[in-house]
A = this chain, B = another copy of it.
Amino acid sequence: MRYYSYEEFIRDLKTLTKKIDFKFDAIVAISRGGLTIAHFLGEYYNIRSVYAISAIGYEDQKKLPCVTIGNIPDLSCHERILIVDEIVDSGETLERVIAQVKEKFPHLICKSAVLFYKSSAKFQPDFFVQYADEWIDFFWTRDLHDTYDR
């Protein structure tokens, strides 16, 4: 288990913005993991259309047998979207989210951006910053707990 701090996040998100060579008019966060990233990128690119899609594929650290996806936002007025999550692990979540978004909105051009990517995943994101080989304890999971003092 590796603790991933806010300072590392800012450094890596800056790296991610340098890698994203794609113009987009909306950001879709995979909830919960992509919410903070989507918020920061929306501010950075001055994009107000920041949405969330529900995808539940884990219970604590245990992978569930299937990924449930829901609440796909209305993206009909957009053309190019960036789908963001914190990590591509098995790749199943991102693959299914993109498939369902494209099924509902076939006109969309979708690219994906994440912070961490496991090379064993069956689906590769378009943009990522680091390879992950252990469970990552993100600051958004850790920092509100009283045991953690900055």
Contact = CB atoms under 8 A, between A and B. Distances in A.
Main secondary structure of the interface of A (DSSP, over half): mixed
Contacts of A141: 43
A23 B39 CA distance: 26
Nearest to A31: B50
Contacts of A48: 32, 56
A73 interface: yes
B35 A50 contact: yes
Given A32-B43, A52-B31, A14 B144 contact: yes
Contacts of A14: 144, 146
A4 to B, nearest CB: 13
A142 B87 CA distance: 24
Interface of A: 6-7, 10, 13-14, 17, 29, 31-32, 35-36, 38-40, 42-44, 48-52, 54, 56, 70-71, 73-74, 140-141, 143-146, 150
